[in-house]
Amino acid sequence: MIEHTIDGIPFIEDKIITSMPYMGNKRKLATKILNSIYETVGEFDNLYDMFGGGGSVSIAGYEAGHEVHYNEFNEGVYNLFKHVLTGDVIPTEWVSRKDFFKHVNGNDWYSGFVKIIYSFGNNQKSYIYGQKIEELKRLSHESVINNDSTCKKELGLLLGITFPDIIKDRKHFMKILRDAKVGIKRTQHLERIDKLKEIEHLERTDKLKRIDKLKEIQHLERTDKLKQINKMNTNFSNLSYDKVIINPVNSVIYCDPPYKDTAGYQCEINHEDFYKWCLDQDCPVFISEYNMPDDFTCIAEFKHTASNSATTNKVIEKLFWNGKGLLK
């Protein structure tokens, strides 16, 4: 929830937000973004997250006490986010290359799951593994996620290792490989397992309690707190950003659009039209980008490692403001 400094400036705790894996995910920046917005325009009631994606800013805003409107144009991702928040089953079964391309263009929640979890760099287009290593990764997945004894035996024969009855998690698995002196390069793509765990961990927040049974498909408890979360369903939309109906009173709009001149996004936008739309709004609009036209003011910069970067190179993301509506 929102607190205040001695000077009366609102702020929330700076922390990493648990959310769905997504290209350009703001889970490490969401609270920083909100605090920068508070410093600029003060307190507000309604938060419109126009390019919702993995939901980091929406979840941070909800935890801060705002009425949140999550909008996501990609129907599969939109349906997946609602599916996770309402506590439905999170699949643990392996998705093959064949199954990936069968579902990647679908619009249901499972297609959203497949395109996010099993795509390379969360690009929602290409399968995460090359054909040569796919079987090794399948055996690793089934051994760690589903504790499949047959797969553990097959993987053990391939690597020359005898696995224990229970593999606790990916870190335990990696320790077994290191202790057996198996080359790390043979396991460097196991980060997909972590992406699956991120979605499972979304159910561990204070607002979303879970039934904690090791290696089982997890469900949310049907509590009063869950009913509170489900109110967000009335604030969900699957529209183009410019089609969302906005109440400008005590509202802030946050946009994390596909960055201009940046490859890899499944959905692109006309950036010139987007800039005009931002300037035409009657309430404050804040945009995450690397660069924006001079009509916008940069109010914050965040240096961090890109969530999908294959290197340790740092990037500087900026938060821009349309200059509208200092809130009282």
What is the overall mean pLDDT for the chain? Answer: 80
Q: Decide if pLDDT at 219 tops 50.
A: no
CA-nearest of 85, 89, 90, 87 to 72 is 85
pTM over 0.85: no
CA-nearest of 220, 193, 192, 217 to 204 is 220
Residue 181: what pLDDT?
66
**pLDDT confidence of 199, banded at 50, 70, 90?**
low
Residue 297: what pLDDT?
95
Over the stretch 278-316, which tens digit does the pLDDT of each residue have?
A: 999 999 999 999 999 999 999 999 987 665 444 456 788
Q: Which domains does the chain have, with CATH numbers?
A: 3-72+244-321 (3.40.50.150)
- Pick from 137-141, 229-233, 294-298, 318-322: least confident: 229-233
Mean pLDDT to the nearest integer, 171-176? 81
Residue 132: what pLDDT?
84
Mean pLDDT to the nearest integer, 32-52? 95
Q: Decide if pLDDT at 185 tops 70.
A: no
| CB atoms near residue 255 (< 10 Å) | 22
Higher pLDDT, 291 or 22: 291
Mean pLDDT to the nearest integer, 33-58? 94
What string of DSSP letters covers 196-247? Answer: HHHHHHGGGSTTS-B---TTS---B---HHHHHHHGGGGGEE-S-GGGS---
Residue 214: what pLDDT?
23
Dihedral (Cα; 141, 90, 72, 271), 10-degree rounding: -10
Name residue 129's amino acid: Y
Residue 71: what pLDDT?
96
Bridge partner list, 78: none
Residue 225: what pLDDT?
40
Mean pLDDT to the nearest integer, 57-72? 93
Over the stretch 246-261, which tens digit does the pLDDT of each residue have?
A: 999 999 999 999 888 7
Over the stretch 74-86, which tens digit does the pLDDT of each residue have?
A: 999 999 888 888 7
